[in-house]
Amino acid sequence: MRPRRLLPLLLLLLAAPAAADILVVGGKPVRCTWWEDGDEIVVNPYNSTNRAMKWGVERHPKSKLKTEKARPSETPEEEYCRRAFEAREGTAADHEALALWCEERKLKDLAAREWERALEADPAFEPAKAALGPAGLKEVLRRNGKANPALGGLLAQYLAAENPATRAVLFDRMKREHDLSLPGSFLERAWRSGRRPRGRTDDVPLTFRSDRVKSEEGVKYTMFVPSSYDPLRPTPLLLGLHGGGRGGKDGEKVVGSGPSAMNFYTGIAEQRGWLAACPTALFGSWAAPVHEVFLEALLEELQLLYNVDLNRVYLTGHSMGGFGAWYWGPKWAERWAAFAPMAGGGGPDAGRLKDTQTFVYVFHGSDDNVVGVDSDRAAAKTLLSNGNDFVYTELDGVGHGCPEEVLAEMAALFEVKRLAVGKGRAFRRDDSIRSSFLAKPTKEERHYLGDPEPPDPDAAAEKPEQRRRRLLADIDLGGGKAEAAAAAFAE
């Protein structure tokens, strides 16, 4: 099902919803969204920013609430994320202003990030050099090609070079001339990633562990790479699970697909600069055991083929995918910065989030006659009772759909959320940027995707018989590597 069009898409995708406030209601502090409506104050304890929501919403006379004493519930780190998104294409002065804002709030690491962004906008910007200091400036210039144009020119040559020997020479030159701090495996992964297609690609065959994940219909996912993607920069990843269910005479066929799910997310991904991937289910329930192996392999593959910010991996799904998001969201809470079940059923799954700080955005239509709303209402009550970080939006008149303003609210909320890991009260949000390309190379990566280590300029050229045996071995693996090998073998 395609998302329902209600408002101009660009405005919806980039609109930043007002964060929930802490407001005293009935003598107790309540985290909620609120707004004025005539002589009343409308209070939504489920934190939705959509003023059309009716279920669970309270109305109070203006005289009973002191809204002037409301205080934001948004943390300084979340506010920074929102401001940073707004300044993403700003000038050096814009980033300087945000860096100073961070320093006022003692957000030292985030301030340093903005000073670095100022240098990217203007490599000669003296206030940024002074703020970073000699050691901090040196560290930036050893790895950031935008802040160091001379290094940037060599990095661009590296990414464009088809000849492995040329890349080896460039890598050695960057180490000698700029004391490059990026490992060779990072650059080789970036080189490999730069050759992946931009935009939308349907039915990409899984390559990683393709000999362990099998299906008669093929193991596939649909991929979207935004036009802004830079393989040298860590990028958020959105994983979307499709709806549908079981089909066919024996109930073993899958109704729904990755391409159908991607219709929801391409607009958001392009405008936000996110990667998006939508796998096609192997069985008519995302909770089926076979999907654990599939989704683990898919995440590994995506994090090796694309420069993913590991602190910004998000999960969502609609209908059957909403049930899937409810299942995998709590089960793998340590993987997601946030997750969003849409028109699914939370029920008892919401209770599994009690001791986490993983943000949840839940949506359901009040008149959904395909998947009833009661389970998600119960989940919303559980999240509220347990003090989780969440938003529940419920709208009338949308049936089993997923309106674009809901997707926009989800995306704007995801923008400020980061991975939180730990146990119980020890859960801690991580605001650093963690590149998946910095992972240590493994035997599995070499086996399925190729060696990410820098090429050896002195290595002997592959002989025809060696190449033939390698291509036949790749064909035996199945998946994407097999398709590429078969095409090369035919040539």
Q: What is the pLDDT along the chain (491 residues), one digit of tens a residue?
A: 444 443 344 434 444 455 789 999 989 999 999 999 999 999 999 999 999 999 999 999 999 999 999 999 999 999 999 999 999 999 999 999 999 999 999 999 999 999 999 999 999 999 999 999 999 999 999 999 999 999 999 999 999 999 999 999 999 999 999 999 999 999 999 999 999 999 999 999 999 999 999 888 889 999 999 999 999 999 999 999 999 865 444 445 667 899 999 999 999 999 999 999 999 999 889 999 999 999 999 999 999 999 999 999 999 999 999 999 999 999 999 999 999 999 999 878 899 998 889 999 999 999 999 999 999 999 999 999 999 999 999 999 999 999 999 999 999 999 999 999 876 667 789 999 999 999 999 999 999 999 998 766 665 566 676 667 666 666 666 666 666 666 665 66
Instruction: Say yes or no: 246 and 356 in one domain.
Output: yes
Sheet holding 359-365, edge to edge: 199-205, 220-225, 275-279, 235-241, 308-318, 338-342, 359-365, 390-395
What CATH number has the domain bearing residue 235? 3.40.50.1820
What's the pTM? 0.91
Give the three-state DSSP class for 487: helix
The pLDDT, as a whole number, for residue 385 is 95
Do the domain assignments include residue 252?
yes
Rounded Cα distance between 363 and 343, Å, is 6
- Specify the residue for token string 């935008």: 146
- Give how many domains the chain has, as a whole number: 4
The pLDDT, as a whole number, for residue 18 is 59
Amino acid at 204: V
Closest CA to 170 of 148, 155, 185, 190: 155
CB 22 within 8 A of CB 71: yes
Instruction: Say yes or no: 67 and 103 in one domain.
Output: no
Q: What is the DSSP string of 151-170?
A: HHHHHHHHHH---HHHHHHH
Instruction: Say yes or no: 169 and 208 in one domain.
Output: no
Q: How far is CA 488 from CA 207, 470, 481, 484, in A?
A: 16, 11, 11, 6
- Specify the residue for token string 């940027």: 433
The pLDDT, as a whole number, for residue 247 is 45
Tell me the backbone φ, ψ of residue 228, rounded to 5 degrees: -85, 0
The pLDDT, as a whole number, for residue 274 is 98
Domain that holds residue 310: 197-436
The pLDDT, as a whole number, for residue 440 is 96
Instruction: Say yes or no: 24 and 148 in one domain.
Output: no
Do the domain assignments include residue 3?
no
Rounded Cα distance between 431 and 51, Å, is 31
Rounded Cα distance between 379 and 391, Å, is 11
Do the domain assignments include residue 80?
no
Instruction: Say yes or no: 385 and 483 in one domain.
Output: no
Do the domain assignments include residue 441?
no
The pLDDT, as a whole number, for residue 466 is 61
Do the domain assignments include residue 447?
no
CB-count burial class (<10 Å; 0-12, 13-18, 19+) for 403? buried
The pLDDT, as a whole number, for residue 103 is 98
- Spatial neighbors of 453 by CB under 8 A, at least 6 apart, are 184, 185, 188, 441
Instruction: Say yes or no: 176 and 211 in one domain.
Output: no
Q: How far is CA 47 from CA 29, 31, 60, in A?
A: 14, 7, 16
Instruction: Say yes or no: 35 and 104 in one domain.
Output: no
Instruction: Say yes or no: 164 and 231 in one domain.
Output: no
Angle (CA) 195 196 199, round 5°: 130
Instruction: Say yes or no: 134 and 173 in one domain.
Output: yes
Do the domain assignments include residue 425?
yes
Angle (CA) 189 177 148, round 5°: 70
Q: How are the residues of the chain apportioned to helix, strand and coil, as percentages rounded to the nearest 5? A: 45, 20, 35
Instruction: Say yes or no: 49 and 122 in one domain.
Output: no
Structure tokens at 232: 């040298």
Rounded Cα distance between 111 and 440, Å, is 29
The pLDDT, as a whole number, for residue 237 is 98
Amino acid at 8: P
Instruction: Say yes or no: 324 and 263 in one domain.
Output: yes
Do the domain assignments include residue 7?
no
Helices (H) and strands (E) in the chain, counts: 16, 17
Rounded Cα distance between 118 and 132, Å, is 11
Do the domain assignments include residue 13?
no
